[in-house]
Amino acid sequence: MTPAPFYTLPGDPIPSVRSFWLRTEDGLRLRAGYWAARDRGGAAGEASGTVLLFTGRTEYLEKYHQVALDLNAAGYDVLSVDWRGQGLSDRLQVNPRPGHAERFSDYQRDVVELVVAAQELDLPRPWHMLAHSMGGAIGLAALEGGLPVASAAFSSPMWGIDFRGIPVPVVLALTGILVRLGRGGRPAPGSGGDDSFLLLDPFLKNLLTGDGPRWGRMVAETATWPEIAIGGATSNWVREAVLECCRLAAVPAPDLPALIALGGRERIVSGAAIRRRAADWPGARLMELPESRHEPMMERDPIRTAFLQAAVQLFGQYDHS
């Protein structure tokens, strides 16, 4: 595991994270990050378990540093990865700006390397999953494939996409035409182009969080580290994501306890799809967060704390099972 960089902004303390490179079966280099609970003041071997953190589209390790530290403080080691095509992991096109995927199933190759790394690091068990947005789709597919976790917490999982009333068949038809015309690697119509929306959208109109300082932190990271950010999703990514959401809707619910959080101000993923899955999942609890936008873990403290405490409570119920 060759060391990899981990960025900080001026004034940040020295981060207690080990970042390193992984190599996928299809030859891509991924950046992973490991936060050990013992590095937060505990004794070696004290961790109650490990949280495998599945981030969303456009995201990167640094964005979840504080979340990882909070989980460390609760007694959990944390392991995460920059998915292919984003963060400091290898991009998939000559133009590194758009968020792209050839096939959504390719993300499972990244999950394999994450699990291999967890095994090589001998991370404490049981393992749990914490997945946000696109990571929720990747995570549900990983559970379908036998991901060895005792429980799973989902934050605004992407089990459907909010296309503002545009029917899914229309989205598939349009993106299919663009892919056939050789434009599948370009930003999809309405996705925002090459630039990150964080540098374009005003705080008062953003769809992610109602917390000003945390929004400001995300903007500062994007402006300071342009190489770590991506812009809009390509037509091929949109098409593959929609097809994966449709496929996952037909997958039986995993035999696993789960927490599923949905914000009352959600406008990015489909709340209806989340509610349908939660209703069909016997071991799941749907946590409604009326004042939350898309990112509960980046929200104002009462919302953020409520979700993280609920996730830790879930994990704790299965630490000795």
Domain limits, the chain: 18-317
Residues 6+ apart with CB under 8 A from 283: 253, 254, 255, 256, 257, 258
β-strands 49-54, 76-81 pairing: parallel
Q: Please answer whether residues 317 and 257 qualify as being in contact, where contact means their C-beta atoms are separated by less than 8 angstroms.
A: yes
pLDDT value at residue 42: 46
- Secondary structure E strands in the chain: 18-23, 29-35, 49-54, 76-81, 127-132, 151-155, 258-263, 284-289
Measured CA to CA in angstroms, residue 272 lies from 160, 163, 304 at distances of 8, 12, 22
Residue with tokens 């007694």: 75
pLDDT interval class at 320 (50, 70, 90):
low
Strand partners, 285: 259
pLDDT value at residue 129: 98
d(CA 187, CA 100): 9
Q: Which of 120, 127, 150, 138 is nearest to 51 (CA)?
A: 127
Stretch 103-108: mean pLDDT, rounded? 98
Measured CA to CA in angstroms, residue 34 lies from 68, 136, 275 at distances of 9, 20, 32
pLDDT value at residue 39: 65
pLDDT per residue over 29-44, tens digit each? 999 999 999 865 544 4
Residue with tokens 């050839």: 102
Q: What is the DSSP letter of 105?
A: G
> Please, what is the average pLDDT of the chain?
95
Q: Please answer whether residues 204 and 237 qualify as being in contact, where contact means their C-beta atoms are separated by less than 8 angstroms.
A: no
pLDDT value at residue 43: 44
pLDDT per residue over 115-157, tens digit each? 999 999 999 999 999 999 999 999 999 999 999 999 999 999 9
d(CA 271, CA 160): 8
pLDDT per residue over 216-257, tens digit each? 999 999 999 999 999 999 999 999 999 999 999 999 999 999
The superfamily in CATH containing domain 18-317 is: Alpha/Beta hydrolase fold, catalytic domain (3.40.50.1820)
- pLDDT > 50? residue 160: yes
pTM here? 0.96
Residues 6+ apart with CB under 8 A from 206: 215, 293
